[in-house]
Amino acid sequence: MIYSRITGTGGHLPEKVLTNRDLEQMVETSDQWIRERTGIAERHIAAPDETTCDLAEPAARRAMEAAGVGPDDIDLILVATTTPDQVFPSTACLLQQRLDIHGCAAFDIQAVCTGFIYALGVADRFIRTGGARRALVVGAETLSRIVDWTDRGTCVLFGDGAGAVVLEASETPGILSSHLHADGRYEQLLRVPAGVSSHYDRLRAGEAFVQMKGNEVFKVAVNTLGRIVDETLAANALEKGDVDWLIPHQANIRIIQATARKLKLSMERVVVTVDRHGNTSAASVPLALDVAVRDGRVRRGETLLMEAFGGGFTWGSVLLKF
Ligand code: ACO
């Protein structure tokens, strides 16, 4: 039986930090409101000339270094992003070029905040069916580019960053299961209603922004993530309490706490970065994983549940032995 196993992690954040106090100068908000309603204290924002691929590259290099692999060892590159550098080539191909990797399949995955979970699920299927042996899986975003900095309902939430893992074929587990879902009927609750083939004028004018009915998204997110926890545990015949670490998408501390309660996990067993990173969309789960691996909390052999929910709506989970 072939499994896929994470052998290295990496992360990268842009240098500029935007605090809640900074946001108080930009919109009608307060540090207290943002902390209480979201758990966010600060987030990192890419410099004007810094692209998604600029963030992805150091994260990928760190993951490859941690795994002890070089450019010739990678035979699949997946980049989960909603904010690609260009219409094409894909950010995965741009990253491939930067890393001096040539010939292997490379493509982007667009599932907004669930993008990394989707990418990990796809890479796992490639590896288990013999289509690849060593994949570089990245979540990278410059979401600040599609945020309306005059809309206090959204601009306080998001940040930029990148996280990456190397996923390798292995005889020992590995990813135990992945669960990927979407339901497009919720489009109106969370979207950027502009793109290349619709409302291109907004894109050209730099007015393609996240629109979100936050309160309604919140309720669906909490219920849906509760269900994905049940689905994941049932698929692996596990009980609540068998999971060592929850590594959730970092959208809102209250959503994270609700999922932890569902799992009967104390918050000490939950990796939280939303306070320092905000919501970095597809980058949030691999960034959180990298933080917890590097500070020694997450250890080899432990059982990790990763989950995410985002625009689409999309949602999903990955259960793995680290
Ligand atoms: N500062 C101060 N007040 C604010 C702010 C702000 N930044 N934003 C909203 N408010 C006000 C509202 O105007 C409202 O005022 P009113 O009662 O006078 O009308 C009040 O605060 C409450 O607003 P709600 O939207 O009900 O606040 P809520 O407690 O729901 O928190 C939040 C809002 C943080 C956005 C929350 O709903 C949330 O986290 N939603 C889910 C986000 C999410 O998970 N998205 C999915 C991933 S993102 C992606 O895929 C791109």
pLDDT at 206: 84
Could you give the CA distance from residue 209 to residue 157 in angstroms, rounded to a whole number? 13
Q: Cβ(143)–Cβ(35) under 8 Å?
A: no
Examine the residue annotation and report whether 223 is marked as an active-site residue of this protein: no
Averaged pLDDT, 196-213? 92
Nearest to 321 by CA among 205, 134, 108, 167: 167
When the pLDDT of each residue in the chain is averaged and rounded to a whole number, the result is 97
Determine the atom of ligand 1 nearest the C-alpha atom of 279: 48
85-128 confidence digits (pLDDT tens): 999 999 999 999 999 999 999 999 999 999 999 999 999 999 99
Would the pLDDT of 239 be above 90? yes
pTM over 0.95: yes
Would the pLDDT of 274 be above 90? yes
Question: Which tokens in the block code for residue 164?
Answer: 């990456």
pLDDT at 215: 96
139-157 confidence digits (pLDDT tens): 999 999 999 999 999 999 9
Averaged pLDDT, 242-257? 97
pLDDT at 13: 98
Handedness of CA 319, 225, 281, 185 (dihedral sign): positive
Examine the residue annotation and report whether 236 is marked as an active-site residue of this protein: no
Residues 6+ apart with CB under 8 A from 59: 10, 11, 12, 138, 140, 162, 163, 164, 283, 286, 290
Catalytic choice (53, 93, 113, 155): 113
Does the C-beta of 252 come closer than 6 Å to ligand 1? yes
